[in-house]
A and B are shown apart, each in its own frame.
Chain A
Amino acid sequence: MLRSLQLESEKCTGCLQCEMACSYENEGVFNPSKSRIKVFTFHEEGRFAPYTCSQCAEAWCLHACPVDAITINPGTGAKDVSEDVCVGCKVCTIACPFGTVNYNADSGKVIKCDLCGGDPACVEACPTEAITYVDASNAGMDRMRAHAAQTIKS
Chain B
Amino acid sequence: MHHVIVGSGPAGVVAAETLKTHQKDARVTILNNEDAPPYSRMAIPYYLIDQIEENGTHLRKNKDHYSSIGIDLINGELSAIDLASKTLLLNDSTNKSLQYDKLLLATGSSPNIPKIQGIETEGVSSCWTLADARYLLNKIKKGDDVVLMGAGFIGCIILEALVKSGANLTVVEMEDRMVPRMMNDDAGGMIKDWCLSKGVVIHTGTRVEEIEKLDSGKLGLKLSDGKILEANLAVSATGVSPNTGFLKKEQLKVGQGILVNRSMQTSDPDVFAAGDVAEGLDFSTGEYSIQAIQPTAVDHARVAAKNMIQLGSVEHQGSINMNVLDTLGLISCSFGAWAGVKDGEQVSLINKDRFKYFNLQFEDDLLVGATSIGMTQHVGVLRGLIQSRIRLGDWKDRLLKDPTRLMEAYLSSTQALGFNSKVFA
Residues on A lying within 8 angstroms of B by beta carbon are 7, 9, 38, 40-43, 49, 51-54, 56-58, 60, 63-64, 66-68, 85, 87-91, 93-103, 105, 144-149, 152-154
A66 engages B418 (CB within 8 Å): no
A99-B298 in contact (CB<8A):
no
Q: Is the CB of A99 within 8 A of B379?
A: yes
Query: What's the least CB distance linking A40 to chain B, in Å?
Result: 5
Q: With A87-B56, A94-B335, A146-B416 as known contacts, state yes or no: A100 contacts B378, CB within 8 Å.
A: yes
Q: 7 new A-B pairs (CB below 8 Å) besides A93-B324, A103-B331?
A: A9-B417, A42-B412, A63-B298, A67-B58, A68-B59, A97-B381, A103-B376
A97 in contact with B384 given A51-B418, A67-B56, A152-B417 (CB within 8 Å): yes
Task: Please determine whether A64 and B298 come into contact, CB atoms closer than 8 angstroms.
Answer: yes
The CA of A28 and the CA of B60, in the complex, are separated in Å by 31
Q: Which residues of A are found within 8 Å of B417, using beta-carbon distances?
A: 7, 9, 49, 51, 54, 144, 148, 152
| A40–B423 CA distance with the chains assembled, in angstroms | 23
Known: A63-B14, A98-B420, A100-B418. A105 touches B295 (CB 8 A): no
Question: Min CB distance, B359 to chain A, in Å?
Answer: 15
Indicate if the CB atoms of B324 and A98 lie closer than 8 Å: no
Looking at the assembled complex, report how far the CB atom of B347 sits from the nearest CB atom of chain A, in whole angstroms: 18
Say whether B294 contacts A97, CB under 8 Å: no
Chain B residues with Cβ below 8 Å from A7 are 417-418
A94 engages B46 (CB within 8 Å): no
Binding site for A on B (CB under 8 A): 10, 14, 40, 42-43, 46, 51-52, 56-61, 294-295, 298, 302, 322-324, 326, 329, 331, 333, 335, 376-384, 387-388, 394-395, 407-408, 410-421, 423
Task: Give the complex CA separation of A97 and B423 in angstroms.
Answer: 8
Q: Bound state CA distance, A40 and B58, in angstroms?
A: 38
Q: Which residues of B contact A93 (CB under 8 A)?
A: 324, 376, 379-380
Contact of A66 with B10 in the complex, beta carbons under 8 Å: yes
Q: Quick one: given A49-B417, A98-B381, A98-B420, are A64 and B294 in contact (CB under 8 Å)? A: yes
Which of A43, A52, A99 is in CB contact (< 8 Å) with B410?
A: A99
Contact B384 A99 (CB under 8 A): yes
Bound Cα distance from A100 to B329, whole angstroms: 21
C-alpha gap A58/B378 in the complex (Å): 18
Shortest distance from the beta carbon of A131 to any chain B beta carbon, whole Å: 11
What is the CA–CA distance of A43 and B404 in the complex, to the nearest angstrom? Answer: 13
**B418-A54 in contact (CB<8A):** yes
Interface pair A40/B418, CB less than 8 Å apart:
no
Residues B383 and A95 in contact, CB atoms below 8 Å apart: yes
| Chain B residues in 8 Å Cβ range of A98 | 380-381, 384, 418, 420
| 30 pairs, A vs B, C-beta closer than 8 Å | A40-B408, A49-B417, A51-B411, A54-B417, A60-B423, A66-B59, A67-B42, A67-B58, A67-B61, A68-B58, A68-B59, A87-B43, A87-B52, A89-B324, A91-B42, A94-B335, A95-B380, A97-B380, A97-B381, A97-B421, A99-B377, A99-B380, A99-B381, A99-B382, A99-B384, A102-B376, A145-B415, A146-B416, A148-B415, A152-B417
Smallest Cβ-Cβ distance to B410: which chain A residue: A99
- Which among A64, A105, A144, A154 is the interface contact of B412 at CB below 8 angstroms? A154
Evaluate contact between B59 and A94: CB separation under 8 angstroms: no
Kindly list chain B residues whose C-beta atoms are within 8 Å of the C-beta of A153: 412-413
Q: Which residues of B contact A97 (CB under 8 A)?
A: 380-381, 383-384, 387-388, 420-421, 423
Nearest Cβ on chain B to A104's Cβ, whole angstroms: 8
CB nearest to B9 among chain A residues = A66
Q: In the complex the two chains form, what is the Cα distance from A53 to B378 in whole Å?
A: 11
Closest chain-B Cβ to A130's Cβ sits at a distance in Å of 11
Question: Of all chain A residues, which has the CB nearest B322?
Answer: A94
Q: A63-B14, A99-B384 are contacts. A89–B298 as well, Cβ < 8 Å?
A: no
- CB pair B46 A88 closer than 8 Å: yes
CA distance A48 to B335 in the complex (A): 28
- Residues of B within 8 Å of A152, CB to CB, are 411-412, 414, 416-417
Please determine whether B40 and A66 come into contact, CB atoms closer than 8 angstroms: yes
How many angstroms from the CA of A40 to the CA of B381 in the assembled complex?
14
Contact A144 B421 (CB under 8 A): no
Instruction: Kindly report which residue of chain A lies nearest to residue B62, judged by CB atoms.
Output: A68
Nearest Cβ on chain A to B283's Cβ, whole angstroms: 12
Sort A-B residue pairs by CB-CB distance and give the 8 closest, nearest first: A97-B384, A99-B378, A66-B40, A99-B381, A148-B416, A54-B418, A99-B380, A96-B380
- Residues of chain B contacted by A60 (CB below 8 angstroms): 380, 423
Chain A residues lying within 8 Å of B410, measured Cβ to Cβ, are 99
A113 CA to B307 CA in the complex, in Å?
Answer: 34
- Whether A67 contacts B380 in the complex (CB less than 8 A), given A56-B418, A100-B418, comes out as no
Contact B379 A94 (CB under 8 A): yes
Closest to A104 in B: B376
Q: Which of A40, A64, A67, A144 contacts B407 (CB 8 A)?
A: A40
Q: How far is the CA of A9 from the CA of B417 in the complex (A)?
A: 9
Question: Which of the residues B302, B331, B387, B416 comes within 8 Å of A90, measured between beta carbons?
Answer: B331
Complex partner residue of A42 from B46, B60, B378, B408, CB under 8 angstroms: B408
**A6, B60: Cα distance in complex, Å:** 33
Could you tell me the distance in whole angstroms from the C-beta of B11 to the nearest C-beta in chain A? 12
Min CB gap B395→A, angstroms: 8
Of B60, B388, B418, the most chain A CB neighbours within 10 A belong to: B418
